[in-house]
Amino acid sequence: MARQGKNSFKEVFRPVDLVIITYQVVMSIVAIVFLSRSGSGGMNIVRHGLSLAAIVALRMLAYRFGGTALGLLSDWYPILTLPFTYKSTGDYIHAVFPGTIDSQLYALDAWLLGTDPARFIQSLQTPLRSDVLQLAYCSFFAIIFFSCYILYRNGKMYAFSNVRMAIVAILYGTYLVFLVLPAHGPRFEYREFFRLNGGLVTHTVNSFIGGAAYCGGAFPSGHAAVSLAVCAALRRYQRDWLPVFAAVTLLLLAATVYGGYHYIVDLIAGALFGAAVAYAALRWNRSWHRRHGTTAAPAAAPGAPGR
């Protein structure tokens, strides 16, 4: 059944949609302005334009017609598209700002530890420790997906909406910061000290990440920002799962430093950045839900508007 009204725009596009739409618009502008510096050239403009059109079309269709398939896709596209958004951001690293801030971050780490951080981490390595922590590092998207899935599966749609909003706002925010404050991370800048001594797991993860990651996306740490925000959310909305996610998060944070993916300063900045962005994003999302009377709504059928 079609729905209309003068406030339909605010009903159709949720805060999470507007964050993603804004990002696509900003990145389209960046692609145009820095066309000559981007590796993919005009294809980036087309990609962001098509992404923007697809989001708008999906939300309009989901709001207007509902249905299980459209509802599921509308609920989950912000989470499921995160890896692709991360990957595409790499096309613009150094297009906006040509340098890096690695030397400053490394110096801060040395000050915090009181010793050379790369050599200190190298001294901690054992094959078993490397395998365990490399596996833990791969848990990042599992933390994101399963935290949302648990809430969604249990019918806690308001909680799901808040957690999804916090995750998306934090990660899209870090992607934009990467453009103006690129940091390669220790494993790229100081790779001679970060050749992990591990087994099959370590080598497999290194091979996979080598093809999926890019230089320039270390500061602030999205791993720290999101995983800590998820733990805070589960403490409020699904406390029985908190011990599991907290344990995995601690291993993940240790793995980011141990494997040379992040500086310690990246984690600190990520935690502070995540707290600030999550606070602002959740205020906006909760306000939207209050206006639509869905702050304490029970589980609704997929595709129902205003969830």
Residue 37 located in a structural domain = no
For residue 166, the enclosing domain spans 83-292
Residues 301 and 307: their CA atoms lie apart, in Å, by 9
Residue 81 has pLDDT above 60, yes or no: yes
- Find where tokens 């403490």 sit: 235
Rg (CA), the chain: 20
pLDDT confidence band for 296 (50 / 70 / 90): low
**pTM for this predicted structure:** 0.88
Count up the domains in the chain and report the number: 1
Phi and psi of 183, rounded to 5°? Answer: -135, 125
What is the enclosing helix (H) or strand (E) of 277?
Answer: helix 264-292
Residue 217 located in a structural domain = yes
CB distance 253 to 264 below 8 Å: no
Mean pLDDT of 242-268: 93
Give per-residue pLDDT as tens, 39-74.
Answer: 566 777 888 888 999 999 999 898 888 778 898 999
Residue 27 located in a structural domain = no
Residue 133 located in a structural domain = yes
In this structure, what is the dihedral angle of CA atoms 94, 169, 102, 119, given to the nearest 10 degrees?
-140
Candidates 196, 75, 219, 54; CA nearest to 136 is 196
99 burial level (CB within 10 Å; 0-12, 13-18, 19+): exposed
Give per-residue pLDDT as tens, 200-244.
Answer: 777 777 777 766 677 788 999 999 999 999 999 999 999 999 999
Residue 160 located in a structural domain = yes
Is 258 strand, coil or helix? helix
